[in-house]
Structure 1
Amino acid sequence: MTEQSDGGGDNFVATLLWLLLGFVAGFALSTKVVIALEIPLGEQSTLNERLLIVALFVGPAFLLVSISNHLERWAARGNFSWARYWTAMFSVAVTVLTLLGMNSVDDLIALADAWKAYNEQRPR
C-alpha cells in the first residue's frame, strides 16, 4: 500500500481539522473564562486580560496540532499504524471537548448564546 492509501500522506487537511477543533475548544475555554471573570470587552480591558483571552483561544489549537505532528512522526516511522494515529487523535479531541463541557452542538450554541448575552449586558 502507498502512504496515501494507508492513511498518511497529505497532512494539510489533517492540520486544518485539528486547527478547527482546537479553535472550537479555544472559543469554549476563552468564553467561559471571560464570562466567569467578568473581563470587560473592548477598550476597557487591560493588556494582560487581552493576552489571556488570546492565549486561551489559540492554545488548544496549538496543543492539538503539536500532538498531531508528534503522533504523525511516530506513524510515519512505523511505530504504530495510521489507524492508531486517528484513534489517538480523535480520543484526544473528544477528551478536550468533553472536559470543556462541549458534548454536543447544542452546548456550543448555548455557549454562543451566553457570550451574546454577556456582550449585550456590558456597558459600551
Structure 2
Amino acid sequence: MTAHNFKDLKVWQMSIELTKEVYDLTSIFPTDEKWGLTSQIRRCAVSIPSNIAEGSGRNSNQDFSRFLGIALGSSYELETQLILAEKLNLISTTDLDNMSNQLMSIQKIIFSLQRKFGN
C-alpha cells in the first residue's frame, strides 16, 4: 500500500470546505434545533473528511476503501438532512442546490477512489 496523505487529497479539501459552509449555514438555525437537526447535520458533515483522513492512515488499500465508503454514506445522509432542512424552511432552495452540487462532486470523487483502492 502507498501511504495516502489525506491533506493532499482534493476530496478531503473539498469536504473540509463543505463542512465549514455547513457550520455557517446551520449557525442561523433556531435554537430549538440545536440538539436536533443542527447537531445531526454537523456530525454528518464532519464525518466525511474525518473518515477520509482515518482511512488514509490504515494499513491497506481495502481498509482505505472501506472508510471511503463510510464517508460516502455520510455524504448521502447529509444530503438527506439538508433536503429535510429545506422542506422545513430552515435553508433556502439556493443553499440546498449549492450544497447538493458540492456533495455530488465529493461523492463522484469518493466513488472513483473506492474503485481504485477497493481491490
* Same fold, TM-score > 0.5, yes or no: no
Name which structure has the greater RCO, CA cutoff 8 Å, separation 6+: 1
TM-score bin (small chain) = 0.3 to 0.5
What TM-score does the superposition give when structure 1 sets the normalisation length? 0.43
Mark the structure with the bigger radius of gyration: 1
Q: TM-score, normalised by structure 2?
A: 0.44
